[in-house]
């Protein structure tokens, strides 16, 4: 997902290139009729504009060229002249006395140059709008190419893509309080003289400002979150770069387990393309009902106890309301500054994509700065929350009989080597990402974690491998039965997630049963076994599992997602 915006920009460009290629071939093969010739020339021009504009957009997003707006001397005049010349070459395509190759080459050059000229001066938070517009242009180019060659299907599909892209562009322009013409003319993102004179002084302030935990000495961010009942999380592009969405979900689940209300505030242009944050959070299984658009949640910041900003800058920058002459001035932003306390998990204190300093960084009260990689800072925050819970938990004589979750948590806390055994129940509960979170948390504490894969775990060969790969579990951590079976004797804890028959020791003794003689994982030889199964019923083969009644086994029954989540809070 990190390079997805660049990939979308390139796909737009390739769509435009395909339409331009269709138009060029049609012209070279000798189209007849004024309508066909003009539409072919127009498809060639729009397709080429889409290609070169998309290449510039992708280059800016990939940092191959300057992400700042690039303004040439007489830029508007150059853009105007290039579009006029492009229109002339489109008209020349229909003039019989002009060689086809000449009009074709001239149209490619002028339209291609126009695409570069209009995209190069767009920067900052306006780039998602530009990508959306280029998406629309790729559809328009396809529809016009369909007209040129008489293909109704191409016209219909291109029209749908063009219309939807234009509608999305309009919605985003309204959300950002922008006029599309101003964006294309570079009025919203071109740097002004005033902006150039300010950064030196502001950078000095930023360097002098406290950073990391030192920014909030009175009360730690973990303590603030522990006491909070109403929390809003604001994701941004930094979350995508750090691939921290799973840790964000883990933290949100922890807070909800403590009784806090957790919501996610999504700015229309957070990230580098429309819907970027929605896709990332969906990937982490954040419920759609917890995602709120800016207009729906902006008034809620005043009443919330804490706001957690993760890798977002321009979309929460209050300078958008006051800093005239800057690229984000007038752009609606999330009212994070209205919250009682703001915890910012950004990589550093540098300005965002628009290049405008964020006064939130220098606010003396109500702001905590956790600088560095978002995944690391969020994991540290989760660990600190757990530490606080452990300190407040009853001990010794005050402690009543341990629950299975508490017992399992203690075993994992003391363990050095842990083996996780996934099964079909994990697939049914879609709990693979929580399994990955548990493994990550154990590794953060210095424990060795391995996954034992039985050949017939699940309902098809490789079922568990695919699910764990989907959760980004490294392939090197997956061990086949023959490679890991002897290690169960030495491991401290075996965690079984939705597996039954493949760990059933009755396979070695229960003659006449369907599983007798089937090689199984020697989970029963581990010092402790934690079983996260739905219930105590036999597995698919219908054979009772003696593991359920063995000492040293903790049974966490119920949906694997729920039991793993409760286990995560205890580790």
Query: Residue 217: which residues within 8 A CB-CB, separation 6 or more?
Result: none
Collapsed DSSP state (helix, strand, coil) of residue 422: strand
Alpha helices in 93-151 (DSSP H): 100-120, 127-149
Q: How far apart are CA 329 and CA 323, in angstroms?
A: 6
Q: From residue 265, give the alpha-carbon distance in Å to each of 234, 262, 301, 336.
A: 5, 10, 10, 10
Q: How far apart are CA 220 and CA 369, in angstroms?
A: 10
List, in sequence order, every residue forming a beta bridge with 422; answer none if it has no partner.
497
Q: How far apart are CA 239 and CA 2, in angstroms?
A: 9
DSSP state of 364: S
φ, ψ for residue 471 (rounded to 5)? -90, 10
Residue 314 is among the residues annotated as catalytic for this protein: yes
Q: How do the residues of the chain divide into helix, strand and coil, expressed in percent and rounded to 5?
A: 55, 10, 35
Q: Which helix (H) or strand (E) holds 382?
A: helix 374-392
List, in sequence order, every residue forming a beta bridge with 235; answer none if it has no partner.
310
Q: Which helix (H) or strand (E) holds 495?
A: strand 493-497
Q: How far apart are CA 1 and CA 472, in angstroms?
A: 13
Specify whether the CB–CB gap between 272 and 5 falls below 8 A.
yes
Q: How many Cα atoms are found within 13 Å in the side-chain-facing hemisphere of 226?
A: 18
User: Which of the following is catalytic: 126, 299, 305, 314?
Assistant: 314
Q: From residue 162, give the alpha-carbon distance in Å to each of 43, 136, 167, 182, 190.
A: 13, 4, 9, 21, 27
> Is residue 199 exposed (0-12), middle (13-18) or buried (19+ Cβ within 10 Å)?
middle
Pick the closest to residue 155 from 330, 260, 59, 19 (CA basis): 19
Q: How far apart are CA 20 and CA 42, in angstroms?
A: 9
Query: Residue 552: which residues within 8 A CB-CB, separation 6 or more?
Result: 527, 528, 529
Q: How far apart are CA 564 and CA 533, in angstroms?
A: 10
Q: How far apart are CA 417 and CA 213, in angstroms?
A: 32
Catalytic residues: 314
């Amino acid at each position: 997902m990190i390079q997805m915006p660049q990939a979308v920009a390139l796909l737009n460009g390739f769509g435009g290139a395909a339409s331009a290629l269709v138009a060029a071939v049609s012209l070279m093969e000798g189209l007849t009729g004024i309508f066909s010739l003009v539409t072919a020339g127009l498809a060639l021009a729009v397709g080429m504009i889409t290609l070169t504009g998309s290449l510039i957009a992708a280059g800016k997003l990939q940092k191959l060229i300057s992400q700042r707006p690039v303004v040439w001397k007489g830029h508007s005049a150059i853009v105007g002249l290039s579009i006029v010349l492009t229109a002339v070459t489109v008209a020349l395509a229909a003039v019989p006395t002009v060689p086809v190759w000449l009009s074709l080459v001239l149209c490619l050059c002028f339209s291609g140059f126009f695409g570069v000229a209009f995209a190069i001066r767009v920067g900052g938070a306006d780039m998602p709008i530009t990508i959306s517009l280029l998406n629309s242009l790729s559809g328009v180019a396809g529809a016009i190419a369909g007209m040129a060659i008489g293909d109704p299907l191409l016209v219909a599909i291109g029209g749908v893509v063009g219309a939807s892209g234009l509608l999305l562009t309009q919605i985003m322009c309204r959300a950002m309080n922008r006029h599309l013409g101003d964006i294309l003319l570079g009025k919203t993102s071109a740097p002004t003289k005033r902006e150039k004179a300010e950064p030196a002084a502001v950078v000095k302030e930023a360097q002098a400002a406290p950073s990391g935990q030192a920014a909030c000495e009175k009360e730690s961010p973990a303590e603030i979150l522990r006491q909070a009942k109403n929390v809003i999380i604001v994701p941004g592009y930094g979350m995508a770069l750090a691939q921290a969405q799973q840790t964000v979900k883990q933290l949100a689940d922890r807070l909800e387990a403590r009784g806090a209300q957790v919501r996610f505030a999504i700015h229309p242009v957070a990230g580098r393309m429309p819907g970027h944050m929605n896709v990332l959070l969906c990937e982490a299984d954040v419920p759609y009902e917890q995602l709120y658009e800016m207009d729906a949640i902006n008034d809620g910041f005043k009443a919330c106890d804490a706001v957690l900003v993760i890798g977002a800058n321009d979309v929460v920058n209050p300078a958008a309301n006051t800093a005239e002459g800057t690229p984000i001035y007038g752009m609606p932003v999330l009212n994070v500054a209205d919250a009682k306390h703001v915890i910012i998990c950004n990589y550093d204190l540098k300005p965002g994509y628009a290049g405008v300093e964020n006064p939130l960084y220098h606010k003396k009260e109500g702001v905590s700065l956790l600088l560095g990689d978002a995944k690391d800072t969020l994991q540290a925050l989760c660990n600190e929350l757990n530490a606080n819970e452990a300190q407040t938990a009853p001990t010794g004589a005050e402690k009543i009989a341990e629950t299975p979750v508490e017992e399992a948590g203690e075993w994992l806390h003391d363990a050095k080597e842990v083996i996780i055994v996934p099964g079909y129940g994990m697939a049914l509960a879609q709990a693979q990402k929580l399994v990955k979170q548990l493994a990550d948390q154990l590794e953060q504490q210095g424990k060795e974690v391995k996954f034992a894969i039985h050949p017939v775990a699940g309902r098809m060969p490789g079922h568990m491998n695919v699910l764990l790969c989907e959760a980004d579990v490294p392939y090197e951590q997956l061990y086949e039965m023959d490679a890991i079976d002897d290690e169960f004797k030495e491991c401290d804890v075996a965690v079984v997630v939705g597996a039954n028959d493949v760990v059933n020791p009755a396979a070695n003794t229960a003659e006449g049963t369907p599983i007798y003689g089937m090689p199984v994982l020697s989970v029963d030889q581990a010092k402790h076994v934690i079983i996260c199964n739905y219930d105590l019923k036999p597995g698919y083969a219908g054979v009772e599992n003696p593991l359920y009644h063995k000492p040293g086994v903790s049974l966490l029954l119920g949906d694997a997602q729920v039991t793993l989540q409760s286990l995560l809070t205890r580790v």
